[in-house]
Structure 1
Amino acid sequence: MLLRFATTLTLAFVIAAPALAAPKPAYGPPPKWVQVAEAPPAPPADNAPAVQTLLDDNQSRLTPQGDAYYNRRVRKILKAEGLPSMTSFSVTWDPDDEQVTVHTLRIIRDGKTIDLLDKGKKMLVLRRERDLERAMLDGRMSASQQIEGLQVGDILDASWTHAGRDPVAGNRSYDMEGLSFPGVASRYRARLSWPTGTPVRYRTTEGFGEPKKTEADGWTFLELDATNIQAPKPPVGAPQRYRRLGTLEASSFASWNEISQIMAPLYARAATIDPASDLRAEIAAIAQKSADPKVRAFEALKLVEDKTRYFFIGIGDGGYVPAPADETWRRKFGDCKGKTVLLLAILKELGVEAEPALVSLGFGDGMDGRLPSLAAFNHVIVRATVGGKVYWLDGTRTGDRSGLDALKPPPHRWALPIRSAGADLEAIVQPPLDAPMIEARLRFDATKGLDERAGVSMSTRLTGDAANAMRQAVATNTRTDLERAFRQQMSAGMSWVELEKIDWQDDAQNDAFELRASGTADLDWRKNPDLGVREYKVSTSTNQTPGFPRREPGPNRDAP
């Protein structure tokens, strides 16, 4: 899969694409199929950002043997405020599947070129696990170099190519390009090519423009070449599907059904348990406890949640292949793939119908309007069917205690069940709430007189995921730390309240958690001259709900 973007904190180009195994980057000219552009003149500096984009060039060659992605960014520093965002250049890649070649890293100053690359002599190559503190290990390599001597007025020119082949996608290709620069760019180009006859489809979203399709010398080309172009601004507060603007997708996957079929044997092989595994004793205990498939399914979920911790492992095979269930159980940790196949294996032994399902964390809304690709997914869960009803089980959660029916459908919007016969996208329906998630009560007792501090008592009853989160906080932290956190949170919004006692009760049987606090409050009684009485204005909330956002003219301005 290909995910391409530049950070605003550094000139860091982070890309993922299939390629040849290589622990170090290569240095040299671009591939022959690349059309190297001349850097255009800068657009007008009026109202321009501190860093101005002169050229944003993206060229891709998609073939059944592997894909290559060429990128070039030419930017001009207009203001001193732009220098901190351009301190370094870096590329990341998977050494098992990808190869990266850096072509250019240079400063252009007053028409003269200062070569910074020098065949990579100053490039630092590391295997840097950036997300270890988040329990994630992806095995990616990073090559970076500090940008020395950059000044206001300089032009920084960097270009590089990723190449290779995704071991799971095989001979299928996918690419996504998009307008993602601030202000106006002098020139933006997206140029894709593939062997004529290869079944590549493409789709654009609003604000990208209509690319031109041509054929020459056995190759099909799809190109958008625009000057003085501005990236569309997503509508504030709109659902994700309305904010996906200014993008181009190209895919040779035939359908979502095909992806489902590709992934099925990977999960079928992994979701097995050795006859001698000590996991079988745990399964037998669940079976002995109840014959009810609902109870069995929930006990299996609790087993995976409680006795295996989460740790992402994305090394090899594009990060798509799950570890065997026995291995995850033995290690007592696993990522979403490993925990899913472990849960599937247990459910199979317990006679509960279940299958894996691919989903997207944070980007599922509008997936039905995208082209099929493996890159669309970043998470996998279990789709279980009990008594004709579908339940979505996620082994990476923790602390679930209230039974299968207390689990709410996750907010991923769409799922792709993984089946040997294939499957299409399935909507994950979230029914409207039938009970409050939070009930808060605040009581003041001013019977001692209006000039005395009033007694105050507060109770907050949480249900569902809110209760689960609080349950985890109580299990993780000491009572002293929790009380301190509650007092600090209260003082931030209600500094006139002084808490004296804090307590809580976990009512897991009813999927609830209740917080209770009491103390005194300095109520601000004010005289009402019209009525001749003193009164206190009660605030119903410490946080004001923002109104509907004001939107500037642009695409999807009328989105919900």
Structure 2
Amino acid sequence: MFYRPVIAGVVAAQILAISPALAADKISYAAPAAWIQGAEVPQAPPEDGAAAVQLVLDDNQTRFAPDGDSYYNRRIYKVTKTEGLPGFQSRSITWDPASETVVWHSLRILRGGKTIDLLKGGKDMLVLRRETSLERAMLDGRLTANRQIEGLQVGDAVDMSWTVTRRDPITQGRSFDFERMAFPGTAGRYRVRVSWPEARSLRWKATEGFGEPTVTTRDGWTVLERDVLQAVAPKPPQGAPARFRRLGELETSSYASWGDVSQIMAPHFARAAVLKPGSAVRQEAAKIAAASKDPKARAFAALKLVEDQTRYLFLGMGEGGYIPATADETWERRFGDCKAKTVLLTALLKELGIESEAALVSLGGGDGMDERLPSLSAFNHVLVRAVIDGKTYWLDGTRTGDRGGLDALRSPNWRWALPLRDQGAELERVIEPPLDNPQMTAAIRLDASKGLEVAAPAKITMRMQGDAANGMRQMIARSAKPDLERAVRQTFSTTFSWIDLKTVTWEDAPAEDAFSLVITGEADVDWRENPDLGVREFRLPGSGAGGPQAFPRREPGPNRDAPYVLAYPMFSRSSVEVVLPSGGRGFTIRGPNGVQMIGGYELKQVSKVEGGVARFFTDVRSVSPEIPADQIEAANKALRGLAAQEYFVRAPK
């Protein structure tokens, strides 16, 4: 990971033993600062139809000041039903002691006009260091202050408030705030208040459903505010791309442009990639250079070296959340996070004479990045942007098991990347074309040549390519062969309950970046009498299934007419072959033939009898990442017709 995670837990005991004591390790307890505007407890939302826990007050106030950025939050929750009590066993605050300090103002129960103080100056507060993501090889060094909620009853309200102040030298004085209406149902009062010195230049942007904030100036401070009673959070449209689901949000940023972010981070990555005299990394680059003169072969060999010879481990303590370890250090200890692996890879590529640079991306949040205000916190991953013979390649050292060479690598689906350059750079669009070949091919072959009354030998072949092959290859490498065979038989027995699965084998084809799983057994081919036609026929199990899923109908609300997102890029192929008795003489089939477009998916179907074998083929390929909303009803109608299709093999009369 690249950024310091927003929600974290506690540091491992080993880290405790070597970490220096920090003043921010301890939490403070005091009244809110003078700049914080108090809020009276508003009237609770109506309980009729409300959730078990109601949000009475959601108060968020931010001040960007020369000595640090402070974020004040106050929440009041009311428990209206017994089902809401388990969710309030404790309350917690998490922070990064390297750059943040916390002041906890209040934690109390409001009951019938009485106040029960739970904070008590922190007497019963538990401050922990623990890691919640150790299983994902992540250490971030964050702290958690926790207090149990004792004696809570239905009808009580829990009132808590705190301030986090951040002084991060990495951002060089830039500020950013993100607020979102993310509560269910209705909030009694929702307020956002952001203030900064009048002489300072900041921008703000609100998305659909947030409303129009007011901007005022007083005593040398500019104040941006949105204050709503009985607020209802806008609901995102089902099936929409991420940029249309960002509703009820407010961003405030002092970054002048994305180039600001690029300039801030570029020197850190450039310094870390400088190799020391006698570097072992330089020796590894020399070995790669001696093995091939082809720049693409060299680049792929460097990528494989980083993938295979350094394991992933995220160290986010102190500046580790943003600043990479050096290439030499990462190679010596043989582990690193995305930053460290990126630096190691760029150092290797530089030695090999290949143009490359680090580039920031957002895992899962890239769609609509160009519509957002610039900030460093928008990114959570970094990789390498390499250019060979005028073509851009995106190389991610945190991956494992890549095969097939540089041209077999797919562009990532993160939409936008920010190259890190000393002079700054703007966002670059990452183009992800449709797939030309299936990533998954499922083929079933039934040998019914011995007649209609006996079980048919069956063979199921699942051929995967690209990332699908890589994932299967790694899973098999981690598993014991007997355990894996047993697990595969049990898993596939649900879908293929009509086949007695016996053997499981696999075939790896690294040169083709492919991996195949082969299962054999005996099928109960159920030839049933059709009384209307007077013939026996075999209906293929699962007929009509396996196509694209229907699109949901949307309720009224913001962005209701937004496009629908598709499974993209996607290309799957399925086939069923039935070897017929008597060379297929007199046998007929029923199945679809043709090519059609259904809601952004290209569907090719072939049904035929050829050489004594009944064959049914289906290709499904997405040709675009999304489609307009006005095409959904027609697409759903076509998908219902697709689901109703049946595939038959009919014996002679």
TM range (shorter): over 0.9
Structure-1 residue corresponding to 2:495? 493
| CA 277–208 in structure 1, closer or farther in 2 if over 3 Å, else same | same
Q: What amino acid sits opposite 1:321 in the alignment?
A: I
- 1:90 aligns to 2:84 (yes or no): no
Secondary structure in 1 matching 2:539: coil
1:391 counterpart (369, 390, 393): 393
1:35 match: 37
Match of 1:439 in 2: 441
Give the superposition deviation at 1:4: 7.0
Matched, 1:551 2:551: no
Aligned to 2:582: none
**Closer, same or farther: CA 137–103 of 1 in aligned 2, 3 Å:** same
1:288 is matched with which residue? Answer: 290
- Tell me the residue number matched to 2:454: 452
Following superposition, the deviation at residue 2 of structure 1 comes to 9.8
Q: What pairs with 1:14-413 in structure 2 (closer than 5 Å)?
A: 22-317=24-319, 319-413=321-415
Deviation for aligned residue 1:145? 1.2
State the AA in 2 paired with 1:552.
E
Listed one character per residue, the Cα deviations across residues 299-339 of structure 1 (whole Å, up to 9, x for unaligned) are 00000000000011111127111111111111100000000
1:489 match: secondary structure: helix
- Structure 1 residue ranges without an equivalent (≥5): 8-19
- Alignment partners' CA distance in 1, 2:23 and 2:193: 25
| Change beyond 3 A, Cα 1:543–1:144 | farther
Contact preservation (8 Å) 1:54, 1:187: yes
Residue identity in the other structure for 2:549: P
C-alpha distance 412-189 of structure 1, shift in aligned 2 (>3 A): same
Shift of 1:439: 1.3
In 2, distance between residues paired with 1:515 and 1:162?
A: 53
- Give the TM-score normalised by structure 2: 0.82
Aligned residue for 1:435, secondary structure, equals coil
Question: How many angstroms does 1:215 deviate by?
Answer: 0.4
How many Å separate the matches in 2 of 1:484 and 1:510?
27
Give the superposition deviation at 1:487.
1.2
Deviation at 1:485, TM superposition (A): 2.2
Q: Which residue of 1 aligns with 2:477?
A: 475
Q: Distance in 2 between matches of 1:163 and 1:489?
A: 51
Comparing 159-168 with 274-283, greater Cα deviation is found at 274-283
Letter in structure 2 aligned against 1:104: S
Q: Take 2:36 and 2:92, find their aligned partners in 1: how far apart are those partners?
A: 21
Equivalenced residues, count: 548
Is this contact kept in 1: 2:4–2:316, CA < 8 A? no
Contact kept? 1:97, 1:318, Cα under 8 Å? no
Residue 521 of structure 1 and its aligned partner are, at CA, apart by 2.2
> Identity of paired residues, percent?
61
Q: Deviations over 1:28-50 (max 9, x none)?
A: 11111111111111111111111
Task: Tell whether the 8 Å contact from 2:4 to 2:140 is kept in structure 1 after alignment.
Answer: no
Task: Tell me what 1:508 maps to.
Answer: 510
Cα 1:385/1:141, change in 2 over 3 Å: same
Q: Tell me if the contact between 1:414 and 1:426 (Cα under 8 Å) persists in the aligned partners.
A: yes
Could you tell me how far apart the structure 2 residues matched to 1:64 and 1:297 are?
45
- Select the structure of larger CA radius of gyration: 2
Supply the distance in 2 between the matched residues of 1:115 and 1:463 (Cα, whole angstroms).
Answer: 60
- Contact 1:21 1:96 (8 Å CA) reproduced: no
Distance 1:490 1:51 in 2: 42
Take 2:420 and 2:7, find their aligned partners in 1: how far apart are those partners?
A: 30
CA deviation after TM superposition for structure 1 residue 496, in Å: 2.5
CA distance in 1, matches of 2:547, 2:389: 43
* TM-score, normalised relative to structure 1: 0.95
Q: Residue type matched to 1:499 in 2? A: L
What is the identity, as a one-letter code, of the residue corresponding to 1:559?
A: A
Provide the secondary structure at the position in 2 that maps to 1:466: helix
SS in 2 for 1:547: coil
Aligned amino acid, residue 106 of structure 1: R
1:250 to partner: Cα distance: 0.1
